[in-house]
A and B are shown apart, each in its own frame.
Chain A
Amino acid sequence: MAMLEVTDLHVYYGNIEALKGISLEADPGQIVAILGSNGAGKTTTLRAISGLLRPRSGSIKCAGKSLVGVDAHVIVGMGLSHVPEGRRIFNILTVDENLNLGGYLVRSQPRLIKERKAGVFKLFPRLAERRMQLAGTLSGGEQQMLAIGRALMSDPKVLMLDEPSLGLSPILARSVLRTVREIAGRGTAVLLVEQNARQALAIADKAYVIEVGRVVLQGEAATLASDERVQRAYLGGFEAVGTQAELGKNN
């Protein structure tokens, strides 16, 4: 049984149908990439799964339990953690306080908080050095580490990441994705939304390609990476992607 199971998800913004029947699955320990161009509906998919948006119809199950209609703050307690697009860390709080909030649901168990924080610091030693610093003063890469670390504080069974490498240098992006691999290696199911299709496919087990609210392609990551349509639409020739990434670094 899949850890996360989404079936025929329909989401509307007012009268506009943003998701037109999305289905996907993620198993424990698996990295599942969601690819698609801007506006395809990747972020909407994650927001519907984590309860920030109410789907019009469809089913979402985490470890067999339905998440539809459950409040976002309750879903966290059911083992699903969402690192939102743009990181959304609490910039006026310290790194340490951000992590404490990640463990909000177990706040009455200081031992557990300490243990999980130690785990996060092992994954991201940079955060340990910056513990008492205001999150808003961190570099982009460190902020992304904090956003992921904060999400891990609830010890999720499913971790959803929305464009974690956005705005990072290629080196940092690779390092963040390597960490994602490590997290999945411990048995967490990871749903990874990425614009950087090449890097995402390199670490993912399987992938879904979304276009205007529909899954148009799905399969093993390796198979998709060599698929002609994917190469044309999202990998755009290896040289071109490389150049773009280099440009991103200078911004």
Chain B
Amino acid sequence: MGPFLEYTVIGLTVGSFYALVALGYTIVYGILRLINFAQGDLSMVGAFLGWTLLVSFGLEHLPIYLALVVAFVVPMLGTAAVNLGILQFAYKPLLKRSLLAILITALGMSIFLQNSAQLIWGGAIQAYPPNLLPSSGIFIGDVHLTYVQIGLVVISLLLMGGLVAFVQSTTLGTAMRALAVDHDAARLMGINVDQVIRLAFVLGAMLAAASGVMLGIYYVQIQFTMGFLLGLRAFTAAVLGGIGNIPGAMAGGMLIGLLEAYTTGYLSGKWEDVLVFGVLITVLVVKPTGIFGERVAERM
């Protein structure tokens, strides 16, 4: 029983990072039927911005709470600006064109972000301050929870809770959901559709950036390539939960995290990706609408 709970804790921690990135895929897809393949790389950009602040600018020497707030907020804003740029210059001119053109552009944006990061921060692995959060922890029964895990899961839950509250209970959030149904009808309500699309890109990027900083804190090492696999796993999570579906993306992220942790724990790390992408292919073949199926009416 011991290792099982241990793996579960790891799975939920990592799963919450995937969930955040998956939410970005799902929010943007819900509105535009566009898979923003740069989503994982946005997370990488966030991780490097956080690293720059903490290490290069020496923020790590500030009081921990202050350091954390700045190391999350600034990368989230910076990455949001990057994603807005991608929307404006890469996707906007293509929105009326074929889906294939947009898909290829999205892949191109992923490569563009990776190469830009390599130019700016170099190709070498960089390290987050290893002891930003105390490395000790607490025991619940015989399960050891580190403060890092607790802290990161709490931040993830706060971000996800904030997103759900925004989407479910504000009129602007309702407008985002309405856009998943009918753009023209939304225009007739007085909704500035372009503005809501920008909002979706901002939110998606902010969640991705937050997950990037968390990955840095959790795994310590970051590199410009880190967004690629992360993005694919999060995409799998979004598809698993039913792309376009917000609770689905969160549940999908957790499931992928758990799957990865159990596989690594019981089999070997080598099998991780085989299983994760096995899930992706199986879902796409067997139930393309994901576990939470239904919904996502075709855009008019």
Contacts and interface: CB of A to CB of B under 8 A. Distances in A.
Interface in A101-115: 101-105, 107
Interface in B63-79: none
Contacts of A104: 171, 175, 189-191
A214 interface: no
A50 B185 CA distance: 11
B186 interface: yes
Which of B184, B188, B191, B193 gathers the greatest number of chain A CB atoms within 10 Å? B188
B174 to A, nearest CB: 5
B191 A90 contact: no
B192 interface: yes
Interface residues on B, range: 20 to 34
A221 B94 CA distance: 47
B297 A91 contact: yes
A107 B181 contact: no
Contacts of B188: 50, 52, 72, 76, 81-82, 84, 88, 151
A100 interface: yes
Contact of B178 (A51, A71, A74, A93): A93
B233 interface: no
A174 to B, nearest CB: 26
B119 to A, nearest CB: 39
Given A97-B174, A100-B171, A73 B187 contact: yes
Interface residues of A, number: 29
Given A84-B188, A104-B190, A92 B297 contact: yes
Contacts of A154: 189-190
A77 interface: yes
Contacts of A102: 189
A10 interface: no
Interface in A21-80: 50-52, 71-74, 76-77
B181 to A, nearest CB: 5
A198 interface: no
A50 B297 CA distance: 24
Given A90-B178, A100-B171, A101-B171, A77 B184 contact: no
A77 B261 CA distance: 53
A117 interface: no
20 contacts: A51-B187, A52-B187, A52-B188, A72-B184, A72-B188, A73-B187, A73-B189, A74-B190, A76-B190, A82-B188, A88-B184, A88-B185, A90-B178, A90-B181, A90-B182, A91-B181, A92-B295, A93-B181, A97-B177, A107-B172
Given A73-B187, A73-B190, A88-B300, 9 more contacts: A71-B192, A73-B189, A74-B190, A91-B181, A92-B295, A93-B174, A93-B177, A100-B171, A103-B171
List of 5 A-B pairs having minimum Cβ-Cβ separation, nearest first: A76-B190, A72-B187, A88-B185, A107-B171, A105-B190
